[in-house]
Structure 1
Amino acid sequence: MRTVELLCSPELEEAVRAAWDRLAAAGLPSLARHPHPTNRPHLTLASVDEFPSGAEERLADLCDAALPLPARLDRVEVLDGTAPLVWLVRPAPQLVALHGAVWDVLAAAPGPRPWHTPGRWVPHLSLALRFRDADRRRARALAGGERPTGEFVAARSYDSETRTTVPLSCLEQERRR
């Protein structure tokens, strides 16, 4: 599987990581406990089995042209009642436009994950996986009392086969140096 993900500005990443830490300290599920080195707050725009030929370069060009994008977090929710605990992202028009453009590039990609496709996509930053709906109120009190703002400043792609990320924007390449 390959993804297209947007990365947060430092202040927005810090706000999300602080929510992860508050959840973990309260004994609730949290991505603070996820040990993989690629684990960091991100917004997934697309997920497919593999990129078509030439897509990675086209996606990088799109992301470089669009970034940075404003980011404003909204309420904390449990998606589908028993799935991830997320902080919803208010979809600014520029973000919706980039999302559509990414899917234009990936139109021929095999195995699109339907929950990321236009019309079904719910923009969010994950706080915990496999979260119980019964803990939603407590989690909202711990994680979602504020409405942080910031920017999406870089893009990357996660490759589930190699379990690594590849920069999709010059900004992310510069941050890795």
Structure 2
Amino acid sequence: MDSIELLLDEGSEQFITGEWEALQAAGLPSRASHRSPHNRPHITLVAAPAITGDRDEQTGAGLNLPLAFTCGGLLLFNAGRKGYVLARQVVCTADLLMLHRRVHEAGAVAGAASTSLPGSWIPHITLANAVPREQLAAALDVVGAPMPGGSIVGARRWDSQARTITGLAGLTNMTCG
């Protein structure tokens, strides 16, 4: 799955990676176990089977960064037999919603995930995938502290087939093996 993602300031990224590490240390599922160089805390704007680079310049130009953000509570997404996705909810401000809409106006993305479309977008920062039901209470205990507010400082496009990251704002391009 390809994506366009927002990147967090250093303090926010450290807070989230600290939560990843705490979950892992507790023997629970965590994004810390995902060892790819592209794995870092982010807010997904669009996810789809393929997102081509023909919209990169227009997408990057529509981003007005840095942008303050805050997190609300914790979210659970049902992942079927795998359990649940545990995430921090990102509060939808008018500026964040406008940024999201601008990215979508830069060009339609075929097959975009419903949770990334305007009107039904659920902005979040994933902490763990595939948390079994019987481990939910323990995982919630580990990540229960509120997250301080932060800033969105960059954006990137992840191409899952080519395994490349294209910087759209505040980031350089890279290949991930």
Q: TM-score with structure 1 length normalisation? A: 0.88
- Give the alignment of 1:2-81 within 5 angstroms: 2-51=2-51, 54-63=54-63, 66-80=64-78
Q: Is the 8 A contact 1:70 1:92 kept in 2?
A: no
* In 1: Cα distance, 2:133 partner to 2:95 partner: 32
The one-letter code of the counterpart of 1:134 is E
Aligned-pair distance for 1:53? 6.9
The residue number in structure 1 matching 2:84 is: 83
Q: Return 5+ residue gaps in structure 1 as ranges.
A: none
Which has a greater percent of strand? 2
* In 2: Cα distance, 1:69 partner to 1:132 partner: 34
* In 1: Cα distance, 2:77 partner to 2:32 partner: 19
SS at the partner of 1:154?
A: strand
Q: Which deviates more from structure 2 when the two are superposed, residues 15-24 or residues 109-118?
A: 109-118
The residue number in structure 2 matching 1:144 is: 144
Aligned-pair distance for 1:130? 1.1
Structure 1, residues 80-110: CA drift from partner, whole Å, max 9, x if none? 2633110111112111111111111232x32
SS at the partner of 2:84?
A: coil
The residue number in structure 2 matching 1:135 is: 135
* In 1: Cα distance, 2:113 partner to 2:13 partner: 25
The residue number in structure 1 matching 2:97 is: 96
Runs of at least 4 residues off by over 3 Å: 49-54
Instruction: State, as a whole percentage, how many aligned pairs show the same letter.
Output: 31
Alignment length (residue pairs): 170
* Structure 1 vs Structure 2 CA RMSD: 1.8
* In 2: Cα distance, 1:120 partner to 1:80 partner: 16
